[in-house]
Chains A and B, each alone.
Chain A
Amino acid sequence: MATVTNNPALRRKAVRARLRTLGFLSPWLVGFTVFFGYPLVATVYFSFMHYNQIETPTFVGLRNWRYVFEQMPLFGPALWNTLWLVVVMVALRVVFGLGIGLLVTKVKAGVGFFRTAFYLPYLAPPVAATVAFVFLLNPGTGPVNDILGKIGISAPNWFNDPAWAKPSLVLLSLWGIGDLMVIFMAALLDVPKDQYEAAELDGAGALHKFRYVTWPSITPIVMFAVVTGVVQTMQYYTQALVAGKLASGVSIGPGSVIQPGYPDHSTLTVPQLVYSLGFQNFNTGAACVLSLVLFAIAMAVTTLLMRRRAGLLSAED
């Protein structure tokens, strides 16, 4: 589809336009190559090498791959936890976010106060929020169990109970629902009012109104929230790691090691395992194998979601 032209002036202009485009894009082009393309190639390279970052790397073929898939007992739990979090956390966040967004649109008195109150926790830095929650949900000294005990409810051990650690992380993520609330709020307010009136005149109840008026209008936003939620949760790292470290109460002292994914590997996610293998055990090869697994999963999920036209590419293209 080359522009067929015999006019040298026009051709020069086209070349200049091409160069200009390249110029404006150059920072990103360089960045993409150096900080994305190269590491990807290198990761594949190192996945076949034994390298402890001191001695020169040696080629070991598929040994790292076999190690990760067959001999590493943490691989299964890490995969399972990441999957669990992606499904449960995203679903609950979207539902809860929608609910809170709806609530805010219905509140009449003190809308400003409620909106700010609901949004505030989202602003807390993830590490700070996690530290706060680990303290609040501490089974021995935390206020939550204290209050629940006074009401007579036997409370679980939250971050210290393998069955409750992930739900506690989900609770933490629901606390920070502010970003989804604002998106859904905007979407809900965007629904054309006259459609509501028409439905009312036809005698529709609240449920009907939601199903036939609200939902079709906000579906793109919901899809967007789901896609971004899945992408974020696949990388879920900080809160799980910090919660595990703090809740285990193991102090950093002489010769102490932190069990990854306390309690009982229940909070271990695949990204954490990459860090542990690469930066604590210095098992570069296995870490790279795991990175590639993570990459494959991310790519698969992304293509799946993109196929359903989640609307990330703007219409004007």
Chain B
Amino acid sequence: MTATTTLTAPSAPVRPRARRSPAPAARRRAALHWIAVHTVALAAALFFLLPFVFVFLTAVMSDSQAMSGDLWPTEWHWSNYADVFRTPGFLDWWRNSLMYAVLGTLFTLCSSIPVAYALAKFRFRGRRTAMLLVISTMMLPPQVIVVPMYLVWAQQFHLSGSLWPLIIPMAFGDAYSIFLLRQFLLTIPREYLESARVDGCGELRTLLRIIIPMAKPGIAAVALFQFFYCWNDYFGPQIYAAQNPGAWTLSYGLESFKSAHSVNWNLTMAATLLVMAPVIIVFFFAQKAFVEGVTLTGVKG
């Protein structure tokens, strides 16, 4: 090659060589690649989906067959699901889980949005410290503070045996939600705030009228996260609600389902499915919010 050709090489994006149709060898390699990728993907899909299938199949087996290790039910006992609903307490667990999740999410949003807004948009001394404190609270295992907190709730306020010790603190901000909301609010350009201020809006009005409508995707994502945090919470109800079966949540009740009601694996699997189903159903309706939430969790690093 002559010197002139090499000098112009770096900037040329299109070369005739790239446009020619690939040789048969390359095409075969591409086909093998396609097969390999999709075979692995299928195997992975089996790994992820088969457990659901087995749980479902076992849930409709008879008592004795569930103990036998058979894979396919010989009789289909759809009544197992009805039996689970009839188990004393199951509906209570539903109600309690729902109440905990709904109230918890509401309280969290009301308290965390102002805090996140302040941390994102206000300039004040100690902002860095506050952010550090929020993050350090996120890193804290709940078991570190649970013993004295339990003593206060149980002995001072006599609220043990209920879910209130879990719900009330959410009215004072949740570190994870604050963090996520702040990340999201940071992306709202300053211009909107400036124009609101120029129009004479106070900070509260700005927050309510301008920021919140703009932050709807982020708020939806945080709400979803918090909802499922409460729905899935096991440790909290175990500490505070265990002593009162009327206050048990689905997560806690499911764990003791097998032995507390002397049932076998078939009913336990039916109950498990009934606990998994709501989350999956909500997911299919709210996929966008889920995806938004994941993007929020720091892809921007």
Contacts and interface: CB of A to CB of B under 8 A. Distances in A.
B59 to A, nearest CB: 10
Q: Looking at chain B, what size class is its interface with the partner chain?
A: 35 or more
Contacts of A259: none
A36 B147 contact: no
B260 interface: yes
A234 B143 CA distance: 10
A302 B139 contact: yes
Contacts, number: 271
Contacts of B52: 120-121
B148 interface: yes
Nearest to A279: B239
Nearest to B239: A279
Contacts of B259: 250-253
A118 B45 contact: yes
A60 interface: no
B283 interface: yes
Nearest to A206: B33
B234 A135 contact: no
Interface stretch (A22-30, A87-95, A153-161): A22-30
A175 B47 contact: yes
A235 interface: yes
Interface in B41-58: 41, 44-45, 47-49, 51-52, 54-55, 58
Contact of A35 (B145, B254, B279, B294): B145
A316 B140 CA distance: 25
Q: Which of A36, A113, A126, A186 has the most CB of B within 10 A?
A: A36
A91 B107 CA distance: 36
A111 B47 CA distance: 17
Contact of B143 (A25, A117, A294): A294
A207 B268 CA distance: 46
A6 interface: no
21 contacts: A1-B125, A24-B118, A38-B148, A103-B37, A117-B45, A118-B48, A121-B52, A128-B254, A141-B66, A145-B69, A182-B291, A224-B301, A271-B141, A275-B235, A279-B150, A288-B148, A291-B145, A292-B144, A299-B136, A314-B186, A317-B128
Interface of B: 34, 37-38, 40-41, 44-45, 47-49, 51-52, 54-55, 58, 66-71, 111-112, 114-115, 117-119, 122, 124-125, 127-128, 130-151, 155, 169, 171-173, 178, 182-183, 186, 203, 231-232, 234-235, 238-239, 250-252, 254-256, 258-260, 262, 265, 268-269, 272, 275-276, 279-280, 283, 291, 294-295, 297-301
